[in-house]
Structure 1
Amino acid sequence: MRVLLINPPYPVVESLTMPLGLLYLAARLEQGGHEVLLEDLQLSRSPLTRLQRTLRRFQPGLAGVTSFSLNLPMAARILQKIKSNLPGALTVWGGPHASFDDLNILRQYPAVDGVVRGEGEETLLEVADRVERGGSFHGVRGISWRGQDGRLFRNPPRPFREELDGLPRPAWHLLKLSQYRAFGDGASVMTSRGCPHRCVFCVGRKMIGAKGRFRSPAAVVDEMEALHRLGFRRIRIEDDLFTFRRDRALAICREMDRRGLTIRWRAYSRVDTVDAELLRWMKKTGCERLLYGAESGSTEILKKIRKGITPDQTRRAVEMTREAGIGVLASFVLGLPGETPQTLRETVDFARSLRVPYTLNLLTPYVGTEVREKAGEWGIR
């Protein structure tokens, strides 16, 4: 069956990254025998016009869109466009916002037939198989859906996939890779899934699970080498926490070094998961920047949001990282629960004192986060 996967554009584009989640979905669907077309509408000046042409040419039986809260309105317009042009096509929505607001999405947007919740590789493949056979979605774990009579169903969640090396390699052949190379922001790689931390403003733990699930170092570096052969000279490691397990991060670096792979790479880390030896190995194998979620310069705020770190730990990690020759980007959030003019000043002063690039982001209570669920209790409007 023909399946169309769509990455909707954002209102503001700061960088151009591969739609890695859709690439994994596409690869799994192809592995299951389906024909897949992937449209990354980030790259289009007239996304709806381009979509119209694609629908006319490809005529999919199943169409799926992913989105975050920021590009939710555009995703809704895309699904409406699909349904108005191809009423017989089944439409599904995925991504964090839809996953944690699934029934409201189905009530609010009649053009949506189903919501794929959480990790979607196995769920979407099962959905595609059912659509091809003309069956219902009863028994498909991980989907919320609308029956023919309009009733809404929320099937039980799908367990997380434990073994990641069994996933097919992302379907890069469905993208025009020259566009991503030209932008210079690098190719995206996933080495692990899962985050054990409980930050109140993040849905990562709920979306991908608290337990770490890891690809083997050899498989990770195989993929990096393949991307290098395709002309990429920079890698973006998209894990929520690359340094989740020190020994494994070190093993990936050593495998890169053993093979003599010369490539620049970036990753997300935490200030309490790095040390001087690990940072030296990361620098040796091409790490050019780490992003640390420092969040606040106030010890009390950090406790309130259950970040599990202190400003002193942030300062030490930033200094070690700079000494290793790796760039740092420190990320802070303003307006966290308990924030006052004094704690705001502490955060700004602390950020400046680190002597590295930093970002100040206003708190956004995303759907699915504890900070949204307790907004009234915490005085957040």
Structure 2
Amino acid sequence: MAKLLFLQNLDYEFLGPMYISSMLKDHGHECELAIGQTFEDFEERIEKFQPDLVGFSIMSGSHYWGKNLAGKIKEKYGIKNIFGGAHPTFFKEFIEEPEVDYLVRGEGEETMKEIMDRIDGNECFHNTPNLSFSQNNEKTHNPLRNLRPDLDEYPFPDRSLYNDLDKLGERKVRNVITSRGCPFHCSFCFEDAMRDMYKGKGKYVRIREIDRAIEECKRLLAETNAEIIYFADDVFGMKKQWLYDFLEVYKKEVNVEFICLVRADIVASDEQYAYKLAEAGCKSVFFGIESGNEQLRNKVLKKQLTDDQILKAAKLLHDVGITFRTYNIVGLPDETLEDAFSTVELNIKIKADYPWCSIFSPFPGTELTDYAFNKGYLGKEFDYDSLDKSFFLETKLEIPHKREIQNLQKFFQTAVLWPWTYPLIKRLIKLPSNVIFRAWFGFIYFLVYIKSEKRNFWETFKFAIKNYKHVLVKE
């Protein structure tokens, strides 16, 4: 049968490759995954497995690593490559890179199954939906297939794909999704662009049946050492009645701690929401604030979220003993230094347990990136290859107070967790950026991460030592 070998450079379990792997294995194909950094790291696995294709699931920033590795593999072994994930989905021009053979845009399970079926039958697969390729200097982008309306028709994700990670230590937090798609229209998020791509091709937001999601949770606990479930939906429990029914069954039949992503306005809309989460075993939630300036948050970022809703959600979560991580962004188009300070101050006001802050990265396909181009924050010479694999390093925008904002990001968590440091931080950010600022950020980021996601300290420490370059080092 046909063979696919996924390659990635981060010691982390991603659901996308696992769903594709389970789909392929259910139809008789073989799929494996290898983790490494350099070409030499993968040679033994490639020679042993002899894949028909090597696959990469990539975000913007890691695409540069992927295409270089793919080129070396093709040169030595003659094995073609296929790229999926956010970067090729929203930047189909990636197919113009000479190292790149194929792109899968959008959801990939059925497309990869069709491709592997045709490889197995020694047939051409160039007319497969969602596929982009280059042939005789002609670039072809096939139309997207309709979305599968029932997510429960897909097999459960193949957890065995990441068995190599078990050698690195305990993995007690595991991801599950109960839905795909997001109904909101935030300008900085790829979900809005994805929804537009799939317009007319089926219902975009799809929620799984409760019984099927519960069955996956129980199987996960039975087959792995998981102790905590992280519901990685874009928004967990978008439909309150579905959520309340799910939580009742979850408490009875699964009954382990869980973490989830929510929206502050949904939490604030019903005082029972936070209570029911806590009652079912939720210990921590994550939600986005993005900016402390309400006008910027709603007019430019289109978050549609008020300060009052954020304040109320924080109070309700604190009242029931649920800690929360806040997502924030600095270095935004139209943002002033005072706006960035207001983001720090709002997080201090709500006593965010686990503040998190990135620097805006102009990912292709998002409305906010187009806005940055139109407003002159990004020049025509801007190249997506210049994007860093980390969104914690520097801004690509030409904005006032660039240095101060970049430095503020490094001290954001410190200022929120220990507000007495805030006046000093306002002075420190005027200094030139330096390795001490980055090292301090890395240390605090590590502490916040292990607490917010209930990770084991020493296992996470080993992970951080091995992967710190993805956060703190420029490509």
TM score, norm. by length of structure 1 = 0.90
Verify the 8 A CA contact 1:243 1:273 in the aligned structure 2: no
Is structure 2 residue 44 aligned with structure 1 residue 53?
A: yes
Judging changes above 3 Å, is the alpha-carbon distance between structure 1 residues 369 and 378 closer, same or farther for their aligned structure 2 residues?
Answer: same
Higher helix fraction (1 or 2): 2
Q: 1:161-200 maps to which residues of 2 (within 5 A)? A: 161-176=148-163, 179=166, 182-184=169-171, 186-200=173-187
Distance 2:74 2:164 in 1: 29
Distance 1:178 1:60 in 2: 21
Which residue of structure 1 aligns with residue 317 of structure 2? 321
RMSD: 2.0
Which residue of structure 1 aligns with residue 356 of structure 2? 359
Distance 1:47 1:216 in 2: 42
Distance 1:135 1:177 in 2: 33
Name the SS for the 1:145 alignment partner: strand
1:51 Cα deviation from its structure 2 partner: 1.1
Which residue of structure 1 aligns with residue 236 of structure 2? 242
Verify the 8 A CA contact 1:187 1:236 in the aligned structure 2: yes
Q: 1:5-44 maps to which residues of 2 (within 5 A)? A: 5-10=5-10, 17-39=12-34, 41=35, 44=36
Name the SS for the 2:374 alignment partner: coil
Verify the 8 A CA contact 2:285 2:324 in the aligned structure 1: yes
Judging changes above 3 Å, is the alpha-carbon distance between structure 1 residues 346 and 174 closer, same or farther for their aligned structure 2 residues?
Answer: closer
Name the SS for the 1:227 alignment partner: helix
User: 2:73 pairs with 82, 85, 98, which one?
Assistant: 82
Which residue of structure 2 aligns with residue 279 of structure 1? 274
Is structure 2 residue 125 aligned with structure 1 residue 132?
A: no
Which residue of structure 1 aligns with residue 338 of structure 2? 342
Verify the 8 A CA contact 1:55 1:85 in the aligned structure 2: no
1:138 Cα deviation from its structure 2 partner: 4.0
User: 1:101 pairs with 91, 99, 114, which one?
Assistant: 91
Which residue of structure 1 aligns with residue 302 of structure 2? 306
Distance 2:164 2:226 in 1: 9
Name the SS for the 1:329 alignment partner: strand
Q: 1:198-277 maps to which residues of 2 (within 5 A)? A: 198-207=185-194, 211-229=204-222, 230-259=224-253, 261-274=254-267, 275-277=270-272
1:7 Cα deviation from its structure 2 partner: 4.3
Is structure 2 residue 368 aligned with structure 1 residue 374?
A: no
Verify the 8 A CA contact 2:172 2:225 in the aligned structure 1: no
Verify the 8 A CA contact 1:96 1:207 in the aligned structure 2: no
Name the SS for the 2:169 alignment partner: helix
Distance 1:27 1:145 in 2: 25
Judging changes above 3 Å, is the alpha-carbon distance between structure 1 residues 137 and 301 closer, same or farther for their aligned structure 2 residues?
Answer: same
Name the SS for the 2:116 alignment partner: helix
My pick for the range that moved more, 356-365 or 23-32, is 356-365
Judging changes above 3 Å, is the alpha-carbon distance between structure 1 residues 280 and 6 closer, same or farther for their aligned structure 2 residues?
Answer: same
1:286 Cα deviation from its structure 2 partner: 1.7
Distance 2:64 2:357 in 1: 25
Which residue of structure 2 aligns with residue 13 of structure 1? none
Deviations 1:218-276 (A, max 9, x none): 111111111111221011111111122112222221111222x2312111110111233
Distance 1:84 1:177 in 2: 27
**Runs (5+) with no aligned partner, structure 1:** 11-15
User: 1:92 pairs with 64, 82, 85, which one?
Assistant: 82
Judging changes above 3 Å, is the alpha-carbon distance between structure 1 residues 2 and 25 closer, same or farther for their aligned structure 2 residues?
Answer: same
Distance 2:181 2:295 in 1: 27
Verify the 8 A CA contact 1:23 1:170 in the aligned structure 2: yes
My pick for the range that moved more, 181-190 or 350-359, is 181-190
User: 1:69 pairs with 48, 52, 60, which one?
Assistant: 60
Name the SS for the 2:19 alignment partner: helix
1:178 Cα deviation from its structure 2 partner: 6.3
Distance 1:156 1:172 in 2: 31
My pick for the range that moved more, 336-345 or 246-255, is 336-345
Deviations 1:319-348 (A, max 9, x none): 111111111011111122321122222222
Verify the 8 A CA contact 1:7 1:67 in the aligned structure 2: no
Distance 1:252 1:181 in 2: 33
Distance 2:273 2:168 in 1: 29
Matched pairs, number = 367
**Runs (5+) with no aligned partner, structure 2:** 379-475
Which residue of structure 1 aligns with residue 2 of structure 2? 2
Query: Which amino acid letter does the alignment assign opposite residue 170 of structure 1?
Result: P
Deviations 1:300-320 (A, max 9, x none): 101221101111111111111
Verify the 8 A CA contact 1:269 1:292 in the aligned structure 2: yes
